[in-house]
Amino acid sequence: MDETDVADLGSIVAVVLAYSPAARALLDRLTDEQDVSQAAVRDYYDRNRDRFLTRDALRRGVDPYGGAAPADFLPYADVRERITHRLRQAAGRRAFFAWLDRARADVVYAAGHEHPGDPSHPDHEHRH
């Protein structure tokens, strides 16, 4: 997982993944366990046509939702595996977030050391 991926996850998750090899291994395992149906992959391709324009179509400013020709899009067969990977990764992250939420549900922070973004803290907008 690169730094950009971690930064997109939010501060608490980013810290957990940055400092815990066990958490990274869990995320990898959860990601690998996700089943993504070919129907879901095809649906993603069909709903997100703008993500699959060819370079030439992008250069020409083709509108993917109006006036684009079939040749303006990368073929489904060429992007199917990439989409499957993205959807599996997203599902793995959701599973990891759910695990982390359950794991930290009973955590009680010492007074004055609450996480500033923790909505369970009465002053969750304070800054350290």
Residue 51 has pLDDT above 80, yes or no: yes
Tell me how far CA of residue 46 lies from CA of 3, 61, 80, 120, in angstroms.
Answer: 30, 19, 11, 40
pLDDT digits (tens, 9 = 90+) for 14-47: 888 889 999 999 999 999 999 999 999 999 999 9
Tell me how far CA of residue 99 lies from CA of 25, 63, 95, 109, in angstroms.
Answer: 13, 40, 6, 19
Q: d(Cα 97, Cα 31) in Å, to the nearest integer?
A: 12
Sequence spans of domains, the chain: 3-104
Q: d(Cα 111, Cα 123) in Å, to the nearest integer?
A: 12
Summarize the confidence of residues 8-14 as an average pLDDT: 70
Q: Is 95 helix (H, G, I), strand (E, B) or coil?
A: helix
